[in-house]
Amino acid sequence: MASKTFIVMSDSHGDREIVKDIKERYLGKVTAIFHNGDSELPSSDTVWDDIYVVAGNCDYDSGYPNSLLIPFPGVTVAQTHGHLYHINFTWDNLIRFAQEGEADICLYGHLHRPAAWQEQGVLFLNPGSVSQPRGEINERLYAKLDIDDDKVSVSYYTREHQLYPALSKEFIR
């Protein structure tokens, strides 16, 4: 399969400018752009044209799907915010969601903390919050995934589109 690049953001909480900024920077240059929920924008907003977006616990607009399962050639992506799978308490439900969809990559958010980890052959990715970080990494971030046949490279970027090198990580598929 040809290599793919995904841009992933989450938890922008009303900050439309950063969603628009990231979209304008990457649209047409990457395979796909994702927002994992809690945008607090109307689902009809044109900023969502060409972005895969799901509902967060702060999105009261019923136009958003709770989850998406997107089969790209050679890689299937499962996307959800995470609150419906109670990820504050357990990973079991999120892992089951990914497995049932036969996903290779599972994108989530909700915790406002960047994380990339592999479990039972699935790569789980939280891009952190692009507007309201929590935890020890006090940086507003989004993520980039570079996907090849045999590996996935995860990197994080600041809102100024600077690489945040401490979080770069590579996973064998």
Report the run of H or E that residue 93 belongs to, with start and end.
helix 92-100
11 binds Mn ion (CB under 5 A): yes
Q: List the structure tokens of 111.
A: 């915790």
Give the per-residue contact string, 104-123, with Mn ion (x = CB under 5 A; - = no).
Answer: --------------------
In whole angstroms, the minimum distance from the beta carbon of 46 to Mn ion comes to 22
How near is the Cβ of 112 to Mn ion at its closest, in Å? 6
What single DSSP character describes residue 43?
T
Return the number of the residue (59 or 104) whose C-beta is nearest Mn ion.
59
> Is-contact 68 79, C-beta < 8 A?
yes
Q: Which residue has its beta carbon closest to Mn ion?
A: 38
Among 15, 32, 38, 126, binds Mn ion (CB under 5 A): 38
How many Å separate Cα 119 from the centre of its chain? 17
What span, in angstroms and rounded, lies between the C-alpha atoms of 114 and 133?
9
Smallest gap from residue 83 Cβ to Mn ion (A): 8
Angle, vertex CA 90, rays to CA 51 and CA 58, nearest 5 = 40
Applying CB under 5 A, which residues contact Mn ion? Answer: 11, 38
